[in-house]
Structure 1
Amino acid sequence: MHGGDEVVAAPAGPPQPLDWKFSQVFGERTAGEEVQEVDIISAIEFDKTGDHLATGDRGGRVVLFERTDTKDHGVSRRDLERMDYLISRHPEFRYKTEFQSHEPEFDYLKSLEIEEKINKIRWCQTANSALFLLSTNDKTIKFWKVQEKKVKKISDMNLDPSKAVGNGSIASSSNSSSPKPCLANGSSLDGSYNSLSHDFSFPPGGLPSLHLPVVTSQETNLVARCRRVYGHAHDYHINSISNNSDGETFISADDLRINLWNLEISNQSFNIVDVKPANMEDLTEVITSAEFHPTHCNMLAYSSSKGSIRLIDLRQSALCDSHAKLQVFYLPFNANRFEEPEAPGSRSFFTEIIASISDIKFAKDGRYILSRDYMTLKLWDINMDSGPVATFQVHEYLRPKLCDLYENDSIFDKFECCLSGDGLRVATGSYSNLFRVFGCAPGSTEATTLEASKNPMRRQVQTPSRPSRPLSSITRVVRRGTETPGVDANGNSFDFTTKLLHLAWHPTENSIACAAANSLYMYYA
């Protein structure tokens, strides 16, 4: 290239904040409609292509939705992406099918009821146009296959009843209980014998009007079949399942253990993490979430109630718990340890509770891990164990109300988090059915608050410099129950009865699906 032709590109700044729009809602409630407990959504997951979306609810059902707007024009998805056509399209999903994944059970040995609630859903690799997914409740994981089955029907014979004669080709039984058309040899067309028609004989030349029946497929039904059940491997409640990139194995995690499974073997698993102490009185932390690395099949991460994330390598040791620390590639990311030192006197009764990590997610490239604790989102670089590279305040304005949140158990709510496919943004939920989207690119100041409704921009939350009312007055209001929590003088929402715990980001587009009670809301930008 000649020197005069060179053009120096200006350094690209952070991407502009997205303009979010309402896309769809499934299960919309009317004003004042009472929501049944079993209908509340408890899990959301896109598949790797983004063409399918699965939700699970507290009633043990799994509902599948299918993308429709990319299939209407006879153009392949790759061509649409090449034309940048999807950016301006309105993403549309339709209901595909649903099935009952789990039923309520009772553990007679422990006198314990096991809820049917779906805790997690994970999509597996597709094969032969069939969909595969894992779903779990507190104790049992199930492997499902959803496939289209064609209903085969036998077409009617092409016989003209008007041409039937007394000694003719066709006779109908006079028995009202057997109104089947019959052949002259006494057999009905479905193969059964009819004694009333045995006097008829074939005419000379046979039956020219008789056609053999033809098998046709007139309907297509979706059938969900449970291929395998992975049970009896967890003494505590399962909080996570995660597929491995090898397509053959997955992990399941409860409070104290993580097990490794092969998809083809349901009666055996390998315990790879065990943090249970010899004496349960010495227990100081529990496992809260676990996730496989998206591309390295030997690596996984798990978080704890102490606010730490541990990245482990399965090649180093068969057992990757605290007893094998010296033999294991082991990187602790501890928010309390690596963030700014606590100011004297700032530590309180709630410090450890709100430090507990409720969810972790790997970025698509596996370089970063996103974690959600009660108050914040944190983004970690797995090559830097000195602390998070970014921290996002989700609902800092609730800090003066931690006492109320503790009294009504809201402080133990488990909020999920998600990342965009390009890694430029993160999102998580809050109370009053709000969720927040943050830009995590260098220099980005994007922080958008949206509400799960048809008008997502209706409410905006500002973080005040001070609480609008004394904590004591808030406490008195909650205890009296004479006032419904809503929006305070600074525009901050603190309706603890409505919460947005579950959401998922489309793997390739700026599209978010989130759950508000029994309603599934979808947005695009």
Structure 2
Amino acid sequence: MKSPASIMRQSSLTKLGSIINTAVNKRAGNGDIQWSFSQVKGTLEEDVTEADIISCVEFNHDGDLLATGDKGGRVVIFQRDPVSKTIIPRRGEYNVYSTFQSHEPEFDYLKSLEIEEKINKIRWLKRKNPAHFLLSTNDKTIKLWKVSERDKRVEGYNTKEENGAIRDPACITALRVPTIKPMELMVEASPRRIFANAHTYHINSISVNSDQETYLSADDLRINLWHLEITDQSFNIVDIKPTNMEELTEVITAAEFHPVECNLLVYSSSKGTIRLCDMRSAALCDRHSKLFEEPEDPTNRSFFSEIISSISDVKLSNSGRYMISRDYLSVKVWDLHMETKPIESYPVHEYLRSKLCSLYENDCIFDKFECCWSGNDSAIMTGSYNNFFRVFDRSTKRDVTLEASRDVAKPKTLLKPRKVCTGGKRKKDEISVDCLDFNKKILHTAWHPTENIVAVAATNNLFLFQDKL
């Protein structure tokens, strides 16, 4: 027989093991993650201007930097606070690292067309040296930016004065060796390449290839392939423009390279289809290798069916085996080995199906919601209205609705799950579908590549949340 002491010791070890397992599962996305508020960046709602509205959010590959673009053409880069990574529990805290004007408003005189400065997408390149590189794009022009630090300056030049003026060689009588002196840290952002004049229609996507040498840019009808070193020429790899524009039935809505296979790319369309193309098969990828499309449910057929089936975003998983697509009412998970139907489908805001008529009248039905994967592909996040965003756990099939609100703007405050009721008696913590604010919408979200830290853009504010272990 075991002694009472050994039984108690075994019991306590079992309990400790279960606590550790629970913590690991939560960190990995296998359990019910409790989300807590970390930070909010941005001005109060009364001070909001159109230019301040955030239009894209993107973590870099190690999650130490987080970039946002706005409608005013600005890029703001936040850096992870080094202390927040070392303290236990770890914190997801970011401080402003660099701010620069990426794009300016332009005017196309040939087409009498104004080109907005709004940043449509930002994509980071993998880091190869102390500097960071990122691509940013508006409707027409893509720019490659170098972001670097300078904490030293050179003094005592022999051939020029301290103000930069060149000295008269006749006045130089002695050799002076310049000295390097420390200075206050300065972060510089400089444009290294400008890729312009390649798109007739508005650019909706850019994606860096896994070879880190090429990238794609997509507009409504074409996808171009660029080399990062060549700015004056690109290759048209997809062209769905019909000979007669009256025969146009669909447009490209999003495109992305495969994270591992540099020859594969996917693009989605307004018809609710996703095409996978292999650049090895032909120079022009008009013939897709695979077509992913879900058969339509005749019982849900309505006037709005085509509009709400349009895919607004597609993202390949970090492993490269799966992809998610976001249409107006749902997020679907596809296996790249199975074209016939998605393997998982998650309703985002099914309660809006009865509101489609009013959403069509106020143009909300055309909102383009993005979606993103967690670092280990076990969870998915996407946005909704009323500053709600949704997190779906793929292993437990549970989901949660959370709100990005300044009401919880105290560090470590736990987020309360929100529920929307469609009719009848409303419970205490529920909100009626008729009370939702459709002007407050979460279109852009990003998930840290290795930790449960998420960034959510709510109008002009950037919210950061993290798991509460």
**Normalising by structure 1, what TM-score?**
0.75
Query: What displacement does 1:522 show?
Result: 0.3
Contact 1:369 1:381 in 2 (8 A): yes
The structural deviation recorded for 1:68 is: 1.4
2:32 paired residue number = 17
Matched residue type, 1:407: E
Residues 492 and 450 (structure 1), Cα distance of their counterparts in 2 relative to 1, 3 Å cut: farther
Q: CA deviation at 1:334?
A: 1.2
> Cα 1:150–1:357, aligned 2, differ >3 Å: closer, same or farther?
same
Letter in 1 for 2:197: H
Deviation at 1:150, TM superposition (A): 3.5
Structure 2 residue 227 is the aligned partner of structure 1 residue 269? no
CA-to-aligned-CA distance 1:202-222 (integer Å, 9 cap, x gap): xxxxxxxxx999542222211
2:298 match: 342
Describe how 1:123-202 pairs up with structure 2 within 5 A.
Answer: 123-152=124-153, 154=155
Q: Distance in 2 between matches of 1:63 and 1:462?
A: 34
* Structure 1 counterpart of 2:7: none
Counterpart among 298, 314, 317 of residue 363 in structure 1: 317
Residue aligning to 1:54? 67
Matched positions, count? 420
Structure 1 pair 110–350 and aligned structure 2 pair: CA distance change class (3 A):
same
**Equivalent residue number for residue 123 of structure 2:** 122
Letter in 2 for 1:300: L
Aligned to 2:194: 229
1:422 aligns with 2:376: yes
Change (3 A) 1:70 1:313: farther
Deviation, structure 1 residue 15: 2.3
Match of 1:247, as an amino acid? Q
Aligned partner of 2:445 in structure 1 is 503
Is the 1:289–1:359 contact (alpha carbons within 8 Å) kept by the matching residues of 2? yes
Distance 1:124 1:191 in 2: 41
Paired with 1:494 and 1:282, the residues of 2 have a C-alpha distance of: 38
- State the identity as a percent: 55
Deviations 1:279-309 (A, max 9, x none): 0000000000000000000001000000001
Task: Say whether the 8 Å CA contact 1:431–1:493 is kept in structure 2.
Answer: no
Which structure is larger by alpha-carbon Rg, 1 or 2?
1
Residues 347 and 220 (structure 1), Cα distance of their counterparts in 2 relative to 1, 3 Å cut: same
Query: Does the residue aligned with 2:233 lie in a helix, a strand or coil?
Result: strand
Are 2:52 and 2:72, in contact at CA under 8 Å, matched by a contact in 1?
yes
Where 1:406 maps in the other structure, the secondary structure is helix
Summarize the alignment of residues 69-80 of structure 1 with structure 2, pairs less than 5 Å apart.
69=82
List gaps (5 residues or longer) in structure 2: 1-17, 157-165, 169-175, 409-413
Question: Is the contact made by 1:397 and 1:467 (CA closer than 8 Å) also made in structure 2?
Answer: no
Read off the aligned partner of 1:450 and give its amino acid letter.
L
1:517 matched to 2:459? The reply is: yes
CA distance in 2 between partners of 1:468 and 1:282 (Å): 49
1:38 aligned residue (51, 61, 67): 51
CA distance in 2, matches of 1:418, 1:350: 25
* Equivalent residue, structure 2, for 1:372: 326
- Matched with 1:161 is none
Q: CA deviation at 1:523?
A: 0.3
1:468–1:489 CA contact under 8 A, matched in 2:
no
SS in 2 for 1:369: strand
Contact kept, 8 Å, 1:148 with 1:222, in 2: the verdict is yes
What value does the CA root-mean-square deviation take over the aligned residues?
2.7
Which residue identity lines up with residue 42 of structure 2 in the other structure?
G
Counterpart among 22, 27, 31 of residue 42 in structure 2: 27
Aligned counterpart, 2:94:
93
Query: 2:110, 2:425 → 1: CA distance?
Result: 52
**Displacement after TM superposition at 1:492 (Å):** 6.8
Match of 1:457 in 2: 415
2:34 & 2:417 partners in 1: Cα distance?
15
Equivalent residue of 2:385, what SS? coil
SS in 2 for 1:265: coil
Aligned partners of 1:496 and 1:119: how far apart in 2? Answer: 21
* TM-score (ref. length: structure 2): 0.84
Q: Which runs of 5+ in 1 are unaligned?
A: 1-9, 74-84, 156-189, 193-210, 470-486
2:280 match: secondary structure: coil
